[in-house]
Amino acid sequence: MADNVQAPALAAFKGETAILELPDSLYDEVTPAQFPQSVLRWRNDRAAHQIGLANLDDARWIAHFARFEPLPGSLATPLALRYHGHQFRTYNPDIGDGRGFLYAQMRDGAGRLMDFGTKGSGRTPWSRFGDGRLTLKGAVREILATEMLEALGVETSRSLSVIETGEALERGDEPSPTRSAVLVRLSHGHIRIGTFQRLAYLRDSETMQAVVAYVLRHFYGEDAGDDAPARLLDHVVARTARLAASYMAAGFVHGVLNTDNINVTGESFDYGPWRFTPRWDPAFTAAYFDHGGLYAFGRQPEAMHWNCMQLAVALRTVSEAPPLIEVLDRFAERYQAEVTQALLWRLGVIPLGGEQDRGVIEAIERGLGTTAMPIDRFFHEAFGGSAPAGFDDLRALLAAYRPRRARDHAHWNGPVCGMAIDEVEAIWSPIAERDDWAPFHAKIAAVRALGEALGPRTEPAGIA
């Protein structure tokens, strides 16, 4: 009956249950929290269109994304995923989905396996002393991060839904009591490096082989086989090198690049204390608790490489070392290629290859360092290949380059669009003070215009 009622609205939605192919020791069935209130604050209609959910009315939307009534063809019960991870380089076997779960899976229009992951949906066996909740401010921050990263060509989870849930939360890093929300993310899988670390810790090679095969099949379109672990690592090295490079070109600092926050598809996710660095400052840190600057702006490629090493260590459970070491060694070379691509893409010019491109990116970094020009301003002025004042050596080098796209979008005649912390706070304050969401919506519109002006960057990871 319920399915019949939903059918017309969800005709294009292709529910999936691929995760159920895996041993059930990887997850726990959980019950979502029941919230006193559900006020729809954000529905990502752009994303909803792409996955066949645009026709849901708000009441059905809330039924799915606050009460977690099953989506047709997908999971009957949400699953809290089990994983471990290195947190700031210390191994922690006590984590897992503590305030989120895998709510549903589906195939998007391109045939990619997509997960609906939640944050703030209630307690699970992995909550430890936590309340299983998310603050509204945390949810708003995640929307802002994902929208900005998407515009800047970074492969990221998308924020599909935010519903305010009417609870009063106590938090050390926000004036409390503070408002609560439940977030639903749309991501290209979210098997983490920490998923493999847990299986290595348990010496469960059988389950690890199954997870290797799952990731290769669903995210990389390949069959398993003898060299499956090394092939998987090779993909993860390639995708995370690309992700680290995209962070640099975006000026983004994730803040918590722990192994449990690294998706093996190389898609960025789980946004907590993130910040955009206003200037090219390698030492800029996002998290107030990152005292040693482990995840500082300029240390993100190294952090990602270290995380790949932990995946290699875990994969020793099902592979000899030499083939793993061989692919791991390619990280630096791949990162160099990717950071060149990422910076030239944002600069809006067609790469010429080799030494010439390297010269350009060195001139960009040098210029940003010496002029201290805000990164967003630099790329706004330089898009298409015109170096701003103070970048004289860059100007000379760019004479040989052609723009990859005309500078004819209205965005380029408007203000610079950035997402530095003071702007984030300036968007949050009117929401906190008087439920004024206008600055938030205006910002989303500006960010999407920036994205249109830059044009698409990413070819989808995995199966096309």
**Contacts with ligand AMP: how many residues (CB under 6 A)?**
15
Q: Report the residue number, 270 or 290, with the smaller CB distance to Mg ion.
A: 270
Total number of residues binding Mg ion (CB under 5 A)? 2
Which listed residue (115, 260, 357, 376) is catalytic?
Answer: 260
Stretch that binds ligand AMP, among 13-21, 89-97, 177-185, 240-248 (CB under 6 A): 89-97
Q: Is 279 annotated as a binding residue?
A: no
Residue 95 touches which member of Mg ion, ligand AMP, none, C-beta under 5-8 Å by kind: ligand AMP
Q: For residues 207 and 258, which CB has a smaller minimum distance to ligand AMP in the complex?
A: 258
Does residue 199 contact residue 317 with C-beta atoms inside 8 Å? yes
Give residue for tokens 């945390």. 138
Closer to Mg ion by CB, 97 or 164: give it.
97
- Binding part of the chain for ligand AMP, among 2-10, 15-23, 97-105, 383-391 by CB under 6 A, reads 97-105
Query: Binding residue per annotation — 115?
Result: no
Interaction of residue 131 with ligand AMP, rule CB under 6 A: yes
> For residues 247-276, which are near ligand AMP according to CB under 6 A?
256, 261, 270, 272
- Nearest-angstrom CA–CA distance, 417 and 371: 19
Q: Using H for helix, E for strand and C for coil, what is the string for 375-419?
A: HHHHHHHHCCCCCCCCCHHHHHHHCCCCECCCCCCHHHHCCCCCC
Return the residue of 50, 55, 77, 127 that touches ligand AMP, per CB under 6 A: 127
Tell whether residue 194 is a contact of ligand AMP (CB under 6 A).
no
In the complex, what is the shortest distance from the CB of residue 150 to Mg ion, in angstroms, rounded to a whole number?
A: 20
Q: How far is the C-alpha of 297 from the C-alpha of 286, rounded, in Å?
A: 8
CB of 372 to Mg ion, least distance (A): 33
* Binding status of residue 270 toward Mg ion by CB under 5 A: yes
* Stretch in the footprint of Mg ion (CB under 5 A) among 76-84, 270-278, 335-343, 455-463: 270-278
Give the nearest distance from C-beta 146 to Mg ion in angstroms.
15
**Residue 112 is labelled as binding a ligand:** no
Counting contacts by CB under 5 A, is residue 157 touching Mg ion?
no
- Kindly tell me which of 195 and 261 has the beta carbon lying closer to ligand AMP: 261
Distances, alpha carbon 171 to alpha carbons 13, 122, 130, 163, in Å: 37, 16, 11, 19
Q: Is 174 in the site for ligand AMP (CB under 6 A)?
A: no
Answer yes or no whether residue 190 interacts with ligand AMP by CB under 6 A: no
60 a known binding residue?
Answer: no
Site for Mg ion in 236-265 (CB under 5 A): 261
260 is catalytic: yes
State the nearest-atom distance from the C-beta of 270 to Mg ion, in Å: 4
Binding partner selected for residue 268 from ligand AMP, Mg ion, none, CB under the kind-specific 5 to 8 Å limit: none
Rounded least distance, CB 151 to ligand AMP, Å: 24
Residues that bind ligand AMP (CB under 6 A): 95-99, 126-127, 130-133, 256, 261, 270, 272
Using CB under 5 A as the criterion, which residues of the chain lie in contact with Mg ion when the complex forms? 261, 270
Q: Annotated active-site positions, please?
A: 260
User: Which residues are known binding-site members for Mg(2+)?
Assistant: 261, 270
